[in-house]
Amino acid sequence: MSDSQAPGAAGPPPGGRADLIIEGAYVVTLDPRRPVIDNGSVAVVGTKIAAAGPAGEIRASFPEAAERIDASGCLVMPGLIDTHTHLFQVLGRGLGDGLELMAWLADFMLPMAVHMTTDDVVAAVRLSSLMSVLAGTTAVVDNHYAPTDTATTLAVAESVESVGLRGAIARGVFGSRVEGSDRMGVPDELHAFTAAEELQILDECLEQRPPGSRVEVWPMPENVVYVDLDLIAACADLAERRDLRWQAHCSEAQEEVVIFGEVHGERPVEWLSRAGLLGPRATLAHAIWLDDDEVAAMGASRACALHQPVCNQVISSGVMRLRELVDAGATVGLGTDGLAVSGQSMFEAMKSAYGLHRLARMDPTWPPVEQLLELVCRHGARVLGRPAGVVSEGALADLVVIDLQSPRFQPAHRPVAMLALVGHGSDVRDVVVDGAVVVRRGRPTLVDQDEVMAKAREAAERVAGAAGLEPLRAAWIDR
Ligand SMILES: [Zn+2]
């Protein structure tokens, strides 16, 4: 987020009539000037937050409101932001446990991806988007790579938006095969388009969904190891020209850094830095195996690293240098990543990061819970490039209401700590995105939940049959 987009800079004038007021809550603002407000209210006008403050003050400033949500006994916070996921993978949920990465790809994920039709993808993305929003996520960045033609990419964006989410489809770009494709065993089906075709499809998508759309389309050279470097540079250039972000998987496995070095003679982030491609628009998924110079380059350029603690542990790929990246000045968003191996909850991601980094550093003092909330909200908004992630005047009205009356939250000595330590998606009661209520009392307002689940189950059956996943569906696997 540039300074000119900062919340508070250009909000609607205070006072008068609000479209929505959420009142009487414990408000966690993530605004350093006033981090929490006990018995607070939030007034929304249009798509933005008009004011947040003590309930009495807000009632005096906004005597009228088209809608009021009584949030007494609840906590209100900015919507959680999932900066890297693969929504289509939900159709394989629960399958592939215990496989090595290469077998996981060859025997499970890639056959599944290759056998999904546009209708299957839509059914999958609607279900996972619904799970996201029900768990308090208000924005997702979805890396989609199955299939990536114009019509399917746009259908994915439409599906994400259909439940009320904002975000971006980071469309997987592969281009022609390169040496890294062979070294990493990337199947031909994924290298389906030439570089020129990839850029043409992105242009077509951007014509339908221009930058600034509720769900944008971003270029995503799928992995710096198996995409031609000129095509990666072209994607970064497209993002610069069109005022978008771009994403890439980068330095997730140690082996990727080795292969990149053998092919190109330097490290991945070292090359990105030397090529002038690092900066706030560069959002690198995983960014685990970085040396000191690469961490410094990420920080100096204000580039974004995307941390998926659940997936990193399941795949055993490594531990991100989270503290060093944050201290260097990089933006670090959290994500859920592959839905075949993780839930779709940013509470799970926060708790997982909390434990992982304490153990890895043998340091029970870091990260504090406040740091995790900063990452998932404020840093997440920076990854998106939107003025969100904070409850303050002028910010986008993306808000979550969490019920503190469940046994899990009692006694609520420190609600901020409870969010990271015991918070769960099922505690989310209401969700507001762009000023509109998209979840009310735990139910979606824009889609029929039973229908979404039924369509996804049908698609999962069809895809499992077509892709030969039956052996993976055994009820109990001895090994
Ligand atoms: Zn990923």
Domain 3-78+388-444 bears CATH identifier 2.40.128.110: no
The 337-338 sheet, strands edge to edge: 215-221, 166-173, 137-144, 80-86, 337-338
User: What's the gap in Å between 10 CA and the centre of ligand 1?
Assistant: 35
- Determine the Cα–Cα distance for residues 398 and 227; give it in Å rounded to an integer: 35
- pLDDT score recorded for residue 101: 74
User: What's the gap in Å between 177 CA and the centre of ligand 1?
Assistant: 20
- pLDDT score recorded for residue 14: 52
SS3 at position 16? coil
User: What's the gap in Å between 286 CA and the centre of ligand 1?
Assistant: 8
- Determine the Cα–Cα distance for residues 443 and 425; give it in Å rounded to an integer: 12
User: What's the gap in Å between 338 CA and the centre of ligand 1?
Assistant: 6
- pLDDT score recorded for residue 185: 86
Domain ranges of the chain: 3-78+388-444, 80-384
CB neighbours of 336 closer than 8 A, spacing ≥ 6? 82, 84, 85, 308, 310, 311, 342, 343, 344, 345, 346, 348, 349
User: What's the gap in Å between 101 CA and the centre of ligand 1?
Assistant: 13
pLDDT per 10-residue tile (average), the chain, 479 residues: 41 72 98 96 98 97 97 98 96 87 82 93 97 98 95 98 98 97 90 97 98 98 98 98 98 95 98 98 98 98 97 92 98 89 88 97 96 98 98 98 92 93 94 98 98 97 94 88
- Determine the Cα–Cα distance for residues 346 and 272; give it in Å rounded to an integer: 29
Record the tokens describing residue 44, joined without a space: 């929304």
- pLDDT score recorded for residue 146: 87
Torsion of CA 393, 394, 395, 398, to 10 degrees: 80
- pLDDT score recorded for residue 5: 41
User: What's the gap in Å between 463 CA and the centre of ligand 1?
Assistant: 21
User: What's the gap in Å between 248 CA and the centre of ligand 1?
Assistant: 9
User: What's the gap in Å between 466 CA and the centre of ligand 1?
Assistant: 24
User: What's the gap in Å between 27 CA and the centre of ligand 1?
Assistant: 32
User: What's the gap in Å between 307 CA and the centre of ligand 1?
Assistant: 10
User: What's the gap in Å between 337 CA and the centre of ligand 1?
Assistant: 5
Domain spanning 80-384, CATH architecture: Alpha-Beta Barrel (3.20)
Q: pLDDT by residue (tens digit) across 410-442?
A: 998 999 999 999 999 999 999 999 999 999 999
What does the H/E/C string look like for 368-409? CHHHHHHHHHHHHHHHHCCCCCCCCCCCECCEEEEECCCHHH
User: What's the gap in Å between 306 CA and the centre of ligand 1?
Assistant: 9
User: What's the gap in Å between 270 CA and the centre of ligand 1?
Assistant: 21
User: What's the gap in Å between 311 CA and the centre of ligand 1?
Assistant: 9
Look up the pTM and report it: 0.95
User: What's the gap in Å between 110 CA and the centre of ligand 1?
Assistant: 13
User: What's the gap in Å between 154 CA and the centre of ligand 1?
Assistant: 20
- pLDDT score recorded for residue 15: 62
Q: pLDDT by residue (tens digit) across 301-311?
A: 999 999 999 99
User: What's the gap in Å between 343 CA and the centre of ligand 1?
Assistant: 14
Q: Pairing between strand 74-78 and 399-403?
A: antiparallel
- pLDDT score recorded for residue 279: 98
User: What's the gap in Å between 120 CA and the centre of ligand 1?
Assistant: 20
- pLDDT score recorded for residue 104: 84
User: What's the gap in Å between 171 CA and the centre of ligand 1?
Assistant: 12
User: What's the gap in Å between 174 CA and the centre of ligand 1?
Assistant: 14
CB neighbours of 98 closer than 8 A, spacing ≥ 6? 477, 479
- pLDDT score recorded for residue 1: 37
- pLDDT score recorded for residue 107: 86
User: What's the gap in Å between 24 CA and the centre of ligand 1?
Assistant: 39
DSSP 223: B
User: What's the gap in Å between 85 CA and the centre of ligand 1?
Assistant: 6
User: What's the gap in Å between 211 CA and the centre of ligand 1?
Assistant: 23
User: What's the gap in Å between 49 CA and the centre of ligand 1?
Assistant: 32
